[in-house]
A = this chain, B = another copy of it.
Amino acid sequence: MRTPTPIEFWYDFGSNYSYLSVMRIDALAAAHGVPLVWRPFLLGPIFKSFGWDNSPFVLQKEKGEYVWKDMVREGAKYGLPFRRPSVFPRTAVQATRVALLGAQAPWGAEFSRRIMLLNFALDQDIGGDALVSAVLKDMGLPAEALMAAARADEVKARLRDQVAQAHRMGVFGAPTFFVGSEMFWGNDRLDDAVRLAAGRD
């Protein structure tokens, strides 16, 4: 029996397939005894580096139309609520900074799930500060202090570093999982990543 390897989990709050993984990964990893490292980041700057000014699901009409039908089926498959967001992709910089603060805290995973549900089940504007603050309050956390901490230059710089690191590691979409140096792209590979991390491959 090998010691499980941690999974580094890279996700973006605007990414619909990241939504599925954010909702699924905690239970799956726990069931296999696999530790998680949550890596919230922004996909926008990565897409820009490819010369794209938007999500490929917007830029490529045919794929875009397909993706929302796929998401309805995928939601049903995993028993997750899904409503197509009226704005896509949503950018949620402040929520991502807060998630970065929470990444090593016990509330981080739940915060990320709440933000994802607001975007992909309730069609809410997760880019606004009001909603992020309300989520923190609702979770019984010191919302004002966390919102202020997330706006500090040091956290802004950490988010920029996080994006730069994703770029260096070859991340080109989300969700992306790393098990050691093995990269897995897409919610469709989450089970494979967990299996490898658990040492059962």
Q: Which residues of A contact B (CB under 8 A)?
A: 50, 60, 62-63, 65-66, 69-70, 73, 77, 170-173, 182-186, 188-189, 192
In the complex, what's the smallest C-beta–C-beta distance from A118 to chain B, in angstroms? Answer: 27
CB-defined contacts of A70 to chain B, threshold 8 Å = 184-185, 189
User: Once the chains bind, are A170 and B60 in contact (CB under 8 Å)?
Assistant: no
CB-defined contacts of A183 to chain B, threshold 8 Å = 66, 69
User: Once the chains bind, are B65 and A60 in contact (CB under 8 Å)?
Assistant: no
User: Once the chains bind, are B170 and A66 in contact (CB under 8 Å)?
Assistant: yes
Q: How far is the CA of A173 from the CA of B50 in the complex (A)?
A: 20
6 nearest CB pairs, A to B = A62-B172, A188-B188, A63-B172, A62-B170, A66-B185, A66-B183
CB-defined contacts of A65 to chain B, threshold 8 Å = 170
Chain B's closest residue to A188 (CB) is: B188
CB-defined contacts of A173 to chain B, threshold 8 Å = 63
User: Once the chains bind, are A60 and B50 in contact (CB under 8 Å)?
Assistant: yes
User: Once the chains bind, are B73 and A192 in contact (CB under 8 Å)?
Assistant: yes
User: Once the chains bind, are B192 and A60 in contact (CB under 8 Å)?
Assistant: no
In the complex, what's the smallest C-beta–C-beta distance from A5 to chain B, in angstroms? Answer: 15
In the complex, what's the smallest C-beta–C-beta distance from A132 to chain B, in angstroms? Answer: 30
